[in-house]
Amino acid sequence: MIRNIIFDLGNVLINFKPETFLLRYTKDEQYIQNFISKVIRNKIWFRLDRGTISLENAKEEFIRKYPEDYSFIITFFEHWMEMLTPIQENVKILCDLKANGYNTYILSNYIEEAFEIMEKKYKFFSLFDGKIISGQEKVIKPEIEIYQKLIDKYNLVPEECVFIDDIRSFLSRARKLKMKTILFTPNTDLRTELRTLDIRI
């Protein structure tokens, strides 16, 4: 029986769509793709997720590495958290799960400074029974340690858990630990997927 619902944050509960967001500042889609490759897919950004570098220091490293993008880097770091908005339908599902007696948790690769702001900004974070955030724990998915931290900290039975994420490789590691999983995409009917696991929703 499933008792615990574990949510990723980015593109599951909180939007993270830089391709769309950056159109505010330039209509050059090729430049946007190049910028995303340079910054968000860069090892420096992964260090942010791991919590081994601050946002300010990361910004300075990007400026040194890509001086030709100085102005855009400054603009991006000033405004990027504005794209971190709730996915309202999934927040409603979270509320319904809590109302139906399920335990809910967060397991997410997330920058510590950004998470602290989001946690204060959005009331739905108070619904969670626990959380493991990569930037706080200094370990990231799909490393097995981050999943085990969640299990150990909250005494979870993996067979009683379902993990919802938007990245397949992160789900495969959870399945190895005997969790049920749901891949969330823009086309996923999350309510229906949960019901297929006999979850009351």
Q: How far is CA 20 from the centre of its chain?
A: 17
Are 91 and 181 found together in one domain?
yes
Query: What's residue 22's pLDDT?
Result: 98
Are 77 and 129 found together in one domain?
no
Q: What is the band of 54 on the pLDDT scale with cuts at 50, 70, 90?
A: very high
Model pLDDT for residues 146-185, shown as the tens digit of each residue = 999 999 999 999 999 999 999 999 999 999 999 999 999 9
Query: Domain range for residue 105?
Result: 4-15+85-196
Query: What's residue 94's pLDDT?
Result: 98
Long-range contacts of 143-146 (CB under 8 A, 24+ apart): 144/173, 144/176, 144/177, 146/107
Q: Is residue 22 part of a domain?
A: yes
Query: In total, how many domains does the chain have?
Result: 2
Q: Residue 190: which CATH number? A: 3.40.50.1000
Are 44 and 96 found together in one domain?
no
Which pTM was predicted?
A: 0.97
Query: What's residue 198's pLDDT?
Result: 97
Are 93 and 104 found together in one domain?
yes
Are 91 and 142 found together in one domain?
yes
Are 63 and 116 found together in one domain?
no
Model pLDDT for residues 78-114, shown as the tens digit of each residue = 999 999 999 999 999 999 999 999 999 999 999 999 9
In 10 A of CB 77, how many CB atoms?
A: 17
